[in-house]
Structure 1
Protein backbone atom coordinates (compact mmCIF):
# COMPACT_ATOMS: atom_id res chain seq x y z
CA UNK A 1 0.00 0.00 0.00
CA UNK A 2 1.47 3.31 -1.10
CA UNK A 3 1.58 6.05 1.58
CA UNK A 4 2.14 9.59 0.35
CA UNK A 5 2.10 12.95 2.13
CA UNK A 6 1.17 16.20 0.39
CA UNK A 7 1.12 19.73 1.80
CA UNK A 8 -2.38 21.24 1.75
CA UNK A 9 -3.22 24.48 0.00
CA UNK A 10 -6.36 26.63 -0.21
CA UNK A 11 -7.47 24.41 -3.10
CA UNK A 12 -7.87 21.64 -0.50
CA UNK A 13 -10.16 23.70 1.77
CA UNK A 14 -13.39 21.75 1.18
CA UNK A 15 -11.68 18.37 1.39
CA UNK A 16 -9.93 19.48 4.59
CA UNK A 17 -13.28 20.48 6.08
CA UNK A 18 -14.87 17.14 5.12
CA UNK A 19 -12.08 15.01 6.57
CA UNK A 20 -11.88 17.16 9.72
CA UNK A 21 -15.56 16.69 10.47
CA UNK A 22 -15.51 12.98 9.57
CA UNK A 23 -12.47 12.04 11.64
CA UNK A 24 -13.35 14.18 14.65
CA UNK A 25 -16.89 12.81 14.72
CA UNK A 26 -15.70 9.20 14.35
CA UNK A 27 -13.30 9.65 17.25
CA UNK A 28 -15.40 11.59 19.75
CA UNK A 29 -19.13 11.21 19.04
CA UNK A 30 -19.64 8.29 21.44
CA UNK A 31 -18.25 10.20 24.43
CA UNK A 32 -19.97 13.54 23.80
CA UNK A 33 -23.49 14.86 23.42
CA UNK A 34 -24.61 15.72 19.87
CA UNK A 35 -25.13 19.35 20.98
CA UNK A 36 -21.59 19.77 22.29
CA UNK A 37 -20.06 17.90 19.35
CA UNK A 38 -21.97 19.94 16.76
CA UNK A 39 -21.13 23.21 18.48
CA UNK A 40 -17.45 22.29 18.36
CA UNK A 41 -17.57 21.15 14.72
CA UNK A 42 -19.29 24.38 13.65
CA UNK A 43 -16.72 26.53 15.47
CA UNK A 44 -13.55 24.63 14.62
CA UNK A 45 -14.21 23.44 11.08
CA UNK A 46 -16.25 26.13 9.36
CA UNK A 47 -14.73 27.24 6.06
CA UNK A 48 -13.69 30.70 7.30
CA UNK A 49 -11.84 29.21 10.29
CA UNK A 50 -10.06 26.60 8.18
CA UNK A 51 -9.13 29.21 5.55
CA UNK A 52 -7.55 31.40 8.26
CA UNK A 53 -5.58 28.40 9.54
CA UNK A 54 -4.47 27.34 6.05
CA UNK A 55 -3.21 30.84 5.23
CA UNK A 56 -1.38 31.34 8.55
CA UNK A 57 2.36 31.25 7.78
CA UNK A 58 2.99 29.58 11.17
CA UNK A 59 0.69 26.60 10.48
CA UNK A 60 1.05 23.75 8.01
CA UNK A 61 -1.38 21.03 6.97
CA UNK A 62 -0.47 17.76 5.24
CA UNK A 63 -2.79 15.13 3.78
CA UNK A 64 -1.72 11.51 3.98
CA UNK A 65 -2.89 9.28 1.15
CA UNK A 66 -3.27 5.53 1.13
CA UNK A 67 -3.54 4.17 -2.40
CA UNK A 68 -4.56 7.57 -3.85
CA UNK A 69 -7.29 8.25 -1.25
CA UNK A 70 -7.01 10.94 1.43
CA UNK A 71 -6.82 8.88 4.61
CA UNK A 72 -5.99 11.55 7.17
CA UNK A 73 -4.03 14.69 7.90
CA UNK A 74 -1.51 16.45 10.09
CA UNK A 75 -1.58 20.04 11.34
CA UNK A 76 1.51 21.58 12.94
CA UNK A 77 1.95 25.05 14.43
CA UNK A 78 4.90 27.23 15.35
CA UNK A 79 5.30 30.71 16.81
CA UNK A 80 2.00 32.50 17.56
CA UNK A 81 -0.11 29.80 15.88
CA UNK A 82 0.51 27.41 18.79
CA UNK A 83 -2.59 26.88 20.91
CA UNK A 84 -0.47 27.46 24.05
CA UNK A 85 2.46 29.86 24.44
CA UNK A 86 5.32 27.36 24.35
CA UNK A 87 7.99 29.58 22.82
CA UNK A 88 9.70 29.89 19.46
CA UNK A 89 11.80 26.77 20.08
CA UNK A 90 8.64 24.58 20.05
CA UNK A 91 6.50 22.95 17.39
CA UNK A 92 2.92 21.93 18.19
CA UNK A 93 1.25 18.91 16.66
CA UNK A 94 -2.32 20.22 16.81
CA UNK A 95 -3.95 17.43 14.83
CA UNK A 96 -3.14 13.94 13.66
CA UNK A 97 -6.43 12.67 12.29
CA UNK A 98 -6.84 9.38 10.44
CA UNK A 99 -10.14 8.06 9.09
CA UNK A 100 -11.33 5.03 11.05
CA UNK A 101 -11.22 2.73 8.01
CA UNK A 102 -7.52 3.58 7.52
CA UNK A 103 -6.40 3.14 11.12
CA UNK A 104 -3.92 0.38 11.96
CA UNK A 105 -2.01 0.97 8.70
CA UNK A 106 0.83 2.99 10.25
CA UNK A 107 -0.51 6.32 8.99
CA UNK A 108 -0.45 8.02 12.41
CA UNK A 109 3.19 6.99 12.74
CA UNK A 110 3.88 8.27 9.20
CA UNK A 111 2.31 11.65 10.05
CA UNK A 112 4.14 11.87 13.39
CA UNK A 113 7.42 11.19 11.59
CA UNK A 114 6.60 14.10 9.25
CA UNK A 115 6.02 16.36 12.27
CA UNK A 116 9.32 15.26 13.83
CA UNK A 117 11.10 15.90 10.52
CA UNK A 118 9.66 19.45 10.36
CA UNK A 119 10.68 20.12 13.97
CA UNK A 120 14.25 19.00 13.27
CA UNK A 121 14.45 20.97 10.00
CA UNK A 122 13.35 24.09 11.88
CA UNK A 123 15.82 23.33 14.70
CA UNK A 124 13.09 23.18 17.34
CA UNK A 125 14.08 22.00 20.82
CA UNK A 126 10.75 20.38 21.58
CA UNK A 127 7.58 19.10 19.98
CA UNK A 128 4.34 19.03 21.94
CA UNK A 129 0.65 18.24 21.65
CA UNK A 130 -2.57 18.15 23.61
CA UNK A 131 -4.49 14.87 23.87
CA UNK A 132 -7.82 14.23 25.58
CA UNK A 133 -7.20 12.50 28.91
CA UNK A 134 -9.72 9.76 27.98
CA UNK A 135 -8.11 8.98 24.60
CA UNK A 136 -6.03 6.09 25.96
CA UNK A 137 -4.99 4.72 22.54
CA UNK A 138 -3.58 8.08 21.46
CA UNK A 139 -1.78 8.57 24.78
CA UNK A 140 -0.15 5.13 24.46
CA UNK A 141 0.88 5.95 20.86
CA UNK A 142 2.50 9.24 21.91
CA UNK A 143 4.27 7.59 24.85
CA UNK A 144 5.73 5.00 22.44
CA UNK A 145 7.02 7.92 20.37
CA UNK A 146 8.86 9.33 23.40
CA UNK A 147 6.35 11.94 24.59
CA UNK A 148 5.84 12.52 28.32
CA UNK A 149 3.08 14.39 30.10
CA UNK A 150 4.25 17.89 31.06
CA UNK A 151 0.95 19.56 31.94
CA UNK A 152 -2.70 19.91 31.02
CA UNK A 153 -5.14 22.48 29.72
CA UNK A 154 -8.86 22.91 29.19
CA UNK A 155 -10.47 21.91 25.92
CA UNK A 156 -14.04 22.95 25.23
CA UNK A 157 -16.35 20.60 23.35
CA UNK A 158 -19.15 23.10 22.87
CA UNK A 159 -19.55 24.44 26.41
CA UNK A 160 -18.43 21.15 28.00
CA UNK A 161 -15.01 21.70 29.60
CA UNK A 162 -12.70 18.72 29.19
CA UNK A 163 -9.04 18.14 30.03
CA UNK A 164 -6.28 17.66 27.48
CA UNK A 165 -2.96 16.34 28.66
CA UNK A 166 0.01 18.26 27.31
CA UNK A 167 2.67 15.83 26.17
CA UNK A 168 6.15 16.90 25.10
CA UNK A 169 9.15 15.36 23.43
CA UNK A 170 12.44 17.21 23.86
CA UNK A 171 15.33 17.00 21.39
CA UNK A 172 18.91 16.92 22.63
Structure 2
Protein backbone atom coordinates (compact mmCIF):
# COMPACT_ATOMS: atom_id res chain seq x y z
CA UNK A 1 0.00 0.00 0.00
CA UNK A 2 1.28 3.48 -0.89
CA UNK A 3 0.09 6.35 1.31
CA UNK A 4 1.10 9.85 2.40
CA UNK A 5 3.60 9.87 5.26
CA UNK A 6 2.35 10.84 8.70
CA UNK A 7 4.24 12.17 11.73
CA UNK A 8 3.90 8.76 13.41
CA UNK A 9 6.08 7.35 10.56
CA UNK A 10 9.13 9.47 11.42
CA UNK A 11 11.14 6.85 13.32
CA UNK A 12 10.38 4.16 10.72
CA UNK A 13 11.52 6.51 7.93
CA UNK A 14 14.76 7.18 9.81
CA UNK A 15 15.38 3.45 10.29
CA UNK A 16 14.68 2.61 6.63
CA UNK A 17 16.98 5.46 5.56
CA UNK A 18 19.84 4.23 7.71
CA UNK A 19 19.43 0.66 6.48
CA UNK A 20 19.28 1.58 2.79
CA UNK A 21 22.03 4.21 2.93
CA UNK A 22 24.48 1.97 4.81
CA UNK A 23 23.67 -1.03 2.60
CA UNK A 24 24.06 1.00 -0.59
CA UNK A 25 27.03 3.26 0.07
CA UNK A 26 29.21 1.75 2.79
CA UNK A 27 30.80 -1.10 0.88
CA UNK A 28 34.05 -1.42 2.85
CA UNK A 29 33.11 -0.86 6.47
CA UNK A 30 31.86 2.12 8.47
CA UNK A 31 34.28 4.96 9.14
CA UNK A 32 33.58 7.52 11.87
CA UNK A 33 32.91 10.20 9.23
CA UNK A 34 30.17 8.14 7.59
CA UNK A 35 28.75 6.94 10.91
CA UNK A 36 28.49 10.54 12.12
CA UNK A 37 26.84 11.59 8.84
CA UNK A 38 24.24 8.81 8.92
CA UNK A 39 23.36 9.30 12.58
CA UNK A 40 23.06 13.09 12.18
CA UNK A 41 21.19 13.06 8.86
CA UNK A 42 18.61 10.30 9.37
CA UNK A 43 16.81 11.18 12.59
CA UNK A 44 13.17 10.90 13.56
CA UNK A 45 13.11 14.63 14.33
CA UNK A 46 14.34 15.53 10.84
CA UNK A 47 11.60 13.35 9.37
CA UNK A 48 8.96 14.93 11.62
CA UNK A 49 10.11 18.32 10.34
CA UNK A 50 10.08 17.10 6.73
CA UNK A 51 6.55 15.70 7.03
CA UNK A 52 5.38 19.13 8.20
CA UNK A 53 7.25 21.04 5.46
CA UNK A 54 4.84 22.35 2.78
CA UNK A 55 7.62 22.16 0.15
CA UNK A 56 8.07 18.42 0.67
CA UNK A 57 5.77 15.52 -0.15
CA UNK A 58 6.55 12.08 1.24
CA UNK A 59 4.81 8.79 0.42
CA UNK A 60 5.49 5.48 2.09
CA UNK A 61 5.17 1.89 0.99
CA UNK A 62 3.65 -0.09 3.81
CA UNK A 63 3.30 -3.84 4.11
CA UNK A 64 1.41 -5.77 6.81
CA UNK A 65 4.23 -5.19 9.33
CA UNK A 66 5.38 -1.65 8.59
CA UNK A 67 7.10 0.73 6.21
CA UNK A 68 9.45 -0.86 3.68
CA UNK A 69 10.19 2.16 1.48
CA UNK A 70 9.46 5.79 0.76
CA UNK A 71 9.88 8.59 -1.75
CA UNK A 72 10.29 12.32 -1.14
CA UNK A 73 9.63 15.13 -3.63
CA UNK A 74 10.77 18.70 -3.07
CA UNK A 75 8.80 21.26 -5.06
CA UNK A 76 11.23 24.15 -4.48
CA UNK A 77 14.64 22.54 -4.93
CA UNK A 78 17.62 24.55 -6.07
CA UNK A 79 18.34 23.08 -9.52
CA UNK A 80 21.47 20.94 -9.72
CA UNK A 81 21.96 22.09 -13.33
CA UNK A 82 20.54 24.92 -15.41
CA UNK A 83 18.05 22.64 -17.21
CA UNK A 84 16.53 21.31 -13.99
CA UNK A 85 13.11 22.37 -12.72
CA UNK A 86 12.47 22.98 -9.01
CA UNK A 87 10.87 19.49 -8.82
CA UNK A 88 13.43 17.15 -7.30
CA UNK A 89 12.92 13.56 -6.22
CA UNK A 90 15.22 13.85 -3.24
CA UNK A 91 14.92 10.30 -1.93
CA UNK A 92 13.62 6.95 -3.13
CA UNK A 93 14.57 4.23 -0.67
CA UNK A 94 13.26 0.66 -0.49
CA UNK A 95 14.60 -1.89 1.98
CA UNK A 96 16.94 -4.28 0.14
CA UNK A 97 14.84 -7.38 0.84
CA UNK A 98 11.79 -5.64 -0.67
CA UNK A 99 13.49 -4.44 -3.84
CA UNK A 100 12.48 -6.04 -7.13
CA UNK A 101 8.91 -6.43 -5.90
CA UNK A 102 7.46 -3.35 -7.57
CA UNK A 103 7.54 -1.07 -4.52
CA UNK A 104 10.14 1.26 -6.01
CA UNK A 105 8.19 1.57 -9.26
CA UNK A 106 4.96 2.27 -7.38
CA UNK A 107 6.61 4.93 -5.24
CA UNK A 108 8.23 6.53 -8.29
CA UNK A 109 4.89 6.60 -10.13
CA UNK A 110 3.28 8.31 -7.15
CA UNK A 111 6.06 10.91 -7.05
CA UNK A 112 5.89 11.58 -10.80
CA UNK A 113 2.09 11.84 -10.69
CA UNK A 114 2.49 14.46 -7.97
CA UNK A 115 5.02 16.35 -10.10
CA UNK A 116 2.62 16.29 -13.06
CA UNK A 117 -0.22 17.63 -10.89
CA UNK A 118 1.95 20.57 -9.88
CA UNK A 119 2.27 21.47 -13.56
CA UNK A 120 5.94 20.65 -13.91
CA UNK A 121 7.42 19.80 -17.29
CA UNK A 122 10.25 17.70 -15.86
CA UNK A 123 11.60 16.34 -12.60
CA UNK A 124 15.13 15.44 -11.65
CA UNK A 125 17.17 13.51 -9.12
CA UNK A 126 20.75 12.62 -8.34
CA UNK A 127 22.10 9.10 -8.09
CA UNK A 128 25.55 7.97 -7.04
CA UNK A 129 27.59 7.19 -10.18
CA UNK A 130 28.54 3.70 -8.95
CA UNK A 131 24.97 2.72 -8.05
CA UNK A 132 24.38 0.87 -11.31
CA UNK A 133 21.21 -0.85 -10.09
CA UNK A 134 19.54 2.49 -9.32
CA UNK A 135 20.78 4.06 -12.55
CA UNK A 136 19.30 1.19 -14.56
CA UNK A 137 16.02 1.51 -12.63
CA UNK A 138 15.71 5.20 -13.49
CA UNK A 139 16.66 4.64 -17.14
CA UNK A 140 13.90 2.01 -17.40
CA UNK A 141 11.45 4.61 -16.06
CA UNK A 142 12.28 7.21 -18.70
CA UNK A 143 15.02 9.22 -17.00
CA UNK A 144 18.07 10.38 -18.92
CA UNK A 145 21.44 11.46 -17.59
CA UNK A 146 21.92 15.18 -18.14
CA UNK A 147 25.10 15.84 -16.15
CA UNK A 148 26.98 15.30 -12.92
CA UNK A 149 27.40 16.89 -9.53
CA UNK A 150 29.40 16.00 -6.43
CA UNK A 151 28.11 14.73 -3.09
CA UNK A 152 30.56 15.92 -0.43
CA UNK A 153 31.14 14.46 3.02
CA UNK A 154 33.99 15.92 5.05
CA UNK A 155 36.90 16.24 2.61
CA UNK A 156 35.66 13.54 0.21
CA UNK A 157 33.54 14.07 -2.88
CA UNK A 158 31.59 11.42 -4.77
CA UNK A 159 30.28 11.79 -8.30
CA UNK A 160 26.51 11.73 -8.63
CA UNK A 161 24.69 11.70 -11.94
CA UNK A 162 21.90 14.19 -12.45
CA UNK A 163 19.01 12.44 -14.17
CA UNK A 164 15.87 14.04 -15.52
CA UNK A 165 12.51 12.81 -16.78
CA UNK A 166 10.06 14.50 -19.11
CA UNK A 167 6.79 14.38 -17.19
CA UNK A 168 4.83 13.93 -20.43
CA UNK A 169 6.88 10.81 -21.29
CA UNK A 170 4.68 7.68 -21.24
CA UNK A 171 7.53 5.60 -19.71
CA UNK A 172 7.33 7.56 -16.48
Smaller-chain TM-score range? 0.7 to 0.9
Q: Name the SS for the 2:100 alignment partner.
A: coil
* TM-score normalized with structure 2 length: 0.86
Alpha-carbon distance, 1:46 to partner: 2.7
What's the Cα RMSD here? 2.3
Deviations 1:35-66 (A, max 9, x none): 23212212321344333322210101111023
What SS does the corresponding residue of 2:110 show, helix, strand or coil? helix
Distance in 1 between the 2:73 and 2:137 partners? 18
C-alpha contact (below 8 Å) 1:96/1:111 kept by paired residues: yes
Report the Cα distance in structure 2 between the residues aligned to 1:159 and 1:84, rounded to whole angstroms: 20
* Partner in structure 2 of residue 116 of structure 1: 112
Partner of 2:130: 134
Q: How does 1:81-160 map to 2 (within 5 A)?
A: 81-82=77-78, 84=80, 89-160=85-156
Whether 1:15 and 2:20 are equivalent positions in the alignment is no
Tell me whether 1:60 sits opposite 2:64 in the alignment: no
Number of aligned residue pairs: give it: 168
For 2:21, which of 12, 15, 24 is the aligned residue? 24
The 10-residue stretch of structure 1 (92-101 or 156-165) with the greater mean CA deviation from structure 2 = 156-165
Give the structure with the higher percent helix: 1
Q: Is the 8 A contact 2:13 2:44 kept in 1?
A: no
State whether residues 36 and 159 of structure 1, in contact with CA within 8 Å, keep that contact through their aligned partners in structure 2.
no
Uncovered stretches (5+) of structure 2, i.e. residues with no partner: none
Deviation (angstroms), 1:83: 6.8
Tell me the distance in 2 between the aligned counterparts of 1:155 and 1:52.
23
